Every structure is written in C-alpha cells, then in structure tokens.
Amino acid sequence: MAMKGSIMLDHGAGGKASAELVGGLFAKHLGNEVLGQMDDAAVLSPPPGRLAVSTDSFVVDPIFFPGGNIGSLAVHGTVNDVAMRGATPLYLTVGFVLEEGLAISDLERVVASMAEAAKEAGVMVVAGDTKVVGRGQADKLFINTTGIGVIPDGLEIGASQAIPGDAVLVSGTVGDHGVTIMASREGLGLDAPIASDSASLNHLAAGLIAACPGLRTLRDPTRGGLATALNEIAATSGVSIELDEAAIPIDPAVAGVCELLGLDPLYLANEGKLICIVEAEQAPAALAAMRADAHGKGAAIIGHCGGERAGRVWINTSVGGRRILDMLSGEPLPRIC
C-alpha cells in the first residue's frame, strides 16, 4: 500500500519514522540483496577491467515533467555519463535530500521511476542515503547519484580521441529535454506535443561499440546542448568540426516552441541523446547500429572533423551560409537537470 502524508524532519532523524520510510518505500522499490544487507558499506566484486565512476546531482525544477521526472533523470544521467566512456554501468548509489513537507506520494512516484529506470538500464542500486531539511532549505527534493561501470581492456573512447576526417553523428532530435523543462516552467506550450528525451543510452552505446571498432568519442550533450558538447570535443581533441545545419534532427514541435521562447535548440540540454564520432568509413555502420536501438531511431550523420583551426566548430546554415557555432556563453542556466 502506498504511504500517505508528508515528509517531516523525523523522517531523516534515524529513528522509527526513518526506518518506516526506508522499509516501506525505498526497500519496496529499490531493494536487492546488496542493499538488503543494511550494513555501513556495500561490498562488491566487480568483473575484470578498469572502473569508470561518475557522480551527478539533480535539482531539476519542476520535478515532474512530460517524459520523466527527477528520479528517472537521476538514473539516466549518471548511467549515460558512465556509458560515454565505453563502460558497462553496473552499480548506482543514490542520495536524497528531501524538503520537509514533500508529499510522500510524490516521493514514491519518483523512487518507483528510479527503480524502473535502473531495471531497464541493468544497474543495481547498491547504497543509498536520505536526509531531510527544513522547509525552504531545499526545493522539494534533490537527488545525487554515483554510477560505477567497467571498461573492457583495450577500449579507448573519450572526448580527446577525434581526428581530422572522422564523421560526426547524433542519435536523434536535439533540444527536447531543455525545451520541455523551459516550457513547463514558463507555463507555455504545454499543449505542444513535446516531451523530455530522458533515457538510458548504455544499450545503444554497447551496440555502437560492438559495431564500430573505429569508434573514437561518445558524448551525451546535456547542459549547453549539442553546440557546447561539440566545442568541448573540438577543443579536447584538437580538431575543427564542420556541421551541416539541415542534417541536424530537430522535432518540428520543439522547433516551434523554441521559436516562441526565443531559444536555440542547439544549445538546449538533451538527456537521451549521444554524439558519436567515428572513423569516416564506419559512419554507415554506426548509423545502422544506432537506428537499430529504440533510442537511436532518429540518428543522423551531421558533419565531420577537420584539421584547420583546432577547437573551432563551423556550421553550414540551411539557407546556404556559413558561420561559427560557439559555446554557450553568458546566460545563467536555470535548473534543467
């Protein structure tokens, strides 16, 4: 039966109320043999290979949005960060900061989504923590997740691996998550058919790794969007990148809301898309591998790497012009993840 009422300071005090919350809610959804040990630390025996570790805190506002919520996002975001290094994500730790007064039913929805997302990604939640703070000291709830994965020996995938001549691909439409959050917050465009793309990409990444020995870089373009992620790759790898604007997939409804709000989808966050840089000859294989995955149906080849002016990203505009595609600069970012 679902728990009723609101979070009180007691729920974080380590006493009876805490135990009820842990037993009645967290264990019910996230429980497994490791978590069930209820000891001070989880003890794990990872398979051979190098470990990839990533941590992220999630403070998205609103906590529920079309296409997901802060819970599913906290799993997807960290799973993806681990997967972008070529690792198989295995374990997740979860820390909650709850604001006094949060509806327990809302917390339960969030935790249930986390469990579902973890199951889909094939990761096990091995440690967790909950703190409660007074009203106004946090906003509803914040979640930190840390992901641990294993990289097979010999696999080198990273933002520094791109070389001139490589092809640049993206796994689908860009800007969906960012525009959905902005529109939810502005109370605008809610009837537009837009939703966050929040999803775990580890299976898609595994398919790519299997299909393309010439895979150089995987990157999930979250904050700052496609434009910022590509600028980071260009700078880290010491290449230039040349894009074809007309080839970049953008959902028409997303484009419409962006036009309305004065936003550029190339700078908006994605939570279920990846950029893939691969040896040019393997671009068709990479495209096929992505399109074979549920989260890569809209994949496209969007450009290539060059050798001149390292660090610069150029875009050939749809109307036939050419310009720089810069990093995001200046604007303070709202809480989108």
Partner 1 sequence: MKHVDEYRDPAMAKELAAQIRRASKTPVRFMELCGTHTMALARHGLHTMLPPTVAMVSGPGCPVCVTATEEIDRAVKLAQTPGVVVATFGDLVRVPGSHGSLAAQRAAGAAVEVVYSPLDAVALAERRSGEQVVFLGIGFETTAPTVAAALLTAEKQGLTNFSVLSAHKLLPPALAALLAGPDLGLGGFLCPGHVTTVIGTACYQPVAHERGLPCVVAGFEPTDVLASILMLVNQVEQGRSEVEIQYKRAVHAQGNPAAMALMNQVFEPVDAPWRGLGHIPASGLALREAYAHLDAARRFDVDVPPAKDHPGCRCGDVLRGLIPPPECKLFAGVCTPSSPLGPCMVSAEGTCAAWHRYRRDE
Nearer to partner 1, 97 or 315 (CB): 315
| 188 counts as binding partner 1 under rule CB under 8 A | no
Q: Is 334 in the site for partner 1 (CB under 8 A)?
A: no
Cβ 226 to partner 1 shortest distance, Å? 16
Within 10 A of 41 (CB to CB), how many other CB atoms are there? 8
Binding of partner 1 at residue 332 (CB under 8 A)?
Answer: no
Confirm or reject binding of residue 320 to partner 1 (CB under 8 A): yes
Question: Is residue 321 a contact point for partner 1 (CB under 8 A)?
Answer: yes
Handedness of CA 83, 296, 203, 95 (dihedral sign): positive
User: Does residue number 187 form part of the binding site for partner 1 (CB under 8 A)?
Assistant: no
324 binds partner 1 (CB under 8 A): yes
Q: Is residue 246 within the footprint of partner 1 (CB under 8 A)?
A: yes
Beta pairing class for 240-244 and 300-306: antiparallel
Whichever of 124 and 243 has its CB closer to partner 1, that residue is: 243
DSSP string, 73-135: HHHHHHHHHHHTTT-EEEEEEEEEEEETT-BHHHHHHHHHHHHHHHHHHT-EEEEEEEEEE-T
* Contact map string, positions 255 to 294, toward partner 1, x by CB under 8 A: xx--x-----------------------------------
DSSP assignments along 249-304, one per residue: ---HHHHHHHHHHT--GGGS--SS--EEEE-GGGHHHHHHHHHTSGGGTT-EEEEE
Nearer to partner 1, 51 or 246 (CB): 246
How many residues are there in the chain? 337
Name the residues that contact partner 1, by CB under 8 A: 246, 252, 255-256, 259, 309, 312, 315-324, 326, 329-330
